[in-house]
Structure 1
Amino acid sequence: MALKKHHQDVRDLIYVHLNQAGQYVLSYGIEFDEFSAAFSDSFNHLLLLKHQFDDTDFNMHTQLEFCPEDRVEKLAQEDVSRYGNFCWIDFVEEEGLNELSDQEIAELLYLGHLKQHLKPPFYHKLGNRFVYLAQDDGWFNKVYYRSFKDFFHLLSETISSKLGKLKREKTLLGMRKKRQYPPVNKEILLSLTPFIKEGICISLKDADLQRSKLEVPIWVIGDFANMDDMYEEYQQMSAKTCHAKIIFDRKTKEWKLYVI
């Protein structure tokens, strides 16, 4: 994967492809620290299927390590992209882990190893909302969502937080200051669902900051599991007119959607 070495721009391009039947989203450009920030007030414990985190507890029944809820923030501060594979499933109480059957433990190991499910990976015993399966976190992420409302919340929060870091404004002294953008209205993102089911790139790097507004272009580029191929397709598509824009009105402080 030669391309990977050259992009330090994972953070300024977001690719998302929603698979409704499989109940998961494939993404590029959304990292674990952004994911954890979006759900910081509602995270559970994380059963670690693939990781290199060293501040864990051990569950005897599953023979797996887990990250207690109060250490998730510490885990989010790690450069988990260097782990290679980083996979976890959240759970409410350790008692739920102790009730898992051999078959269910086998299903979890299969998830972590092959990043595919044998059966829908939502377990009543765990009460899990997510299954998070990443290779070089931020490069290739496959996340199962019990409710896609959580996905749209993540996308809404992540776009605004990334823009705040990338699109800085000059002060009178020429210093660049960080801007605060409100989360993108979830209704706007929901209306993009037909596009997201096909696979879209939201290009923060190509965002146009003007005096009165900020325009963020979106291209529909298709379904990719190989993110080198996705990035090549984006490079070709980005020379053409985008399919939609999300526009922030700097006067009213509101987001709008423009479909071309």
Structure 2
Amino acid sequence: MKKHHQDVRDLIYIHLNQTEQYVMSYGIEFEEFAAAFSGSLNHLLLLKHRFDETDFNMHTLLEYCPDAKVNKLAAQDVYGYGDFCWIDFVEEDGLNELTGQEIAELLYLGHLKQHLKIPFYPKLGNRFVYLAHDDGWFNKVYYRSFKDFFHLLSEGISEKLGKVKLEKSLLGIRKKRSYPSVNKEILLSLTPFIKEGICISLKDADHQRGRIEIPIWVIGDFANMDDMYEEYEEISSKNCHAKIIFDKKTKEWKLNVI
């Protein structure tokens, strides 16, 4: 039943696990992640990947993507890698200080997409751990600060809306519309829902003359995205639990909890 990753773009599923500091998601791809943190991502220690232009760390015997090549990596067909897992780090010296136990924890993360201990390492100074299978289909990302997650979501929703609703110009060429980022306060107020697991559906957005209404359904906690998608297909015929609304006149976002 698995959808091709092109279908992923117009539906976002997110479930936030505050205690263990990660977010499970569907519909947000590494390309969008890298764009949201453009210029501020550190080097990426690659735990599972198929990227060719890497550097090699002798201490961990692992390849890494230097920060200067992150954009090149983001332009790849990362979905086609299958497993794509990394942890960011500030200095290579930090990698060289990792103990055997810490390296074992990193390998376990990449292999099972689960942690033995919450994976934030002072030696690495990492903000994230990114664990994906068929990138955009199943993503589990650990965040040192959930501020980063809400930043990604605010950028991602407006970016996706621009891709989904392409405008035809006078010459018939489809051009991308640009929307302001969704206010983080709006998204923060959805936290109780996000902790339960929600779908934000751009494919079901209601495009009216003066506004765009994007429906949100609370659908629960899923690790299997086939099951999540089936649940979404069932619930999407029912009334939604909230809407994010873009006012075309004021160019502002607001939230309507139903």
Letter of the 1:4 partner, please give it: K
CA contact (8 A) 1:25 1:143 kept: yes
Helix, strand or coil at the partner of 2:152? helix
Partner of 2:84: 86
CA contact (8 A) 2:5 2:79 kept: no
RMSD of equivalent CA atoms: 1.1
Offset, 1:170: 4.1
Rounded to whole Å, the distance in 2 between the matches of 1:217 and 1:22 is 28
Partner of 2:178: 180
Offset, 1:173: 5.7
Offset, 1:179: 1.1
TM norm structure 2? 0.98
Partner of 1:142: 140
Partner of 2:160: 162
Partner of 1:109: 107
User: What stretches of structure 1 of length at least 5 have no aligned partner?
Assistant: none
Render the CA deviation track for 1:79-131: whole Å, top value 9, x for unaligned. Answer: 11111100000000000000000100000000000000101100000000000
Partner of 1:37: 35
Offset, 1:174: 5.4
TM norm structure 1? 0.97
Offset, 1:6: 5.8
Offset, 1:204: 0.5
Partner of 1:202: 200
CA contact (8 A) 2:36 2:151 kept: yes
Partner of 1:22: 20
Q: How many residues of Structure 1 are paired with residues of Structure 2 in the alignment?
A: 258
Offset, 1:8: 3.7
Partner of 1:225: 223
Rounded to whole Å, the distance in 2 between the matches of 1:175 and 1:105 is 51
CA contact (8 A) 1:46 1:69 kept: yes
Rounded to whole Å, the distance in 2 between the matches of 1:200 and 1:244 is 10
Partner of 1:235: 233
Rounded to whole Å, the distance in 2 between the matches of 1:120 and 1:48 is 18
Partner of 1:251: 249
Render the CA deviation track for 1:181-206: whole Å, top value 9, x for unaligned. Answer: 00000000000000000000000011
CA contact (8 A) 1:167 1:209 kept: no
CA contact (8 A) 1:18 1:26 kept: yes
Q: Percent identity among equivalent residues?
A: 81
Moved segments of 4+, more than 2 Å: 5-8, 168-177
Offset, 1:9: 1.2
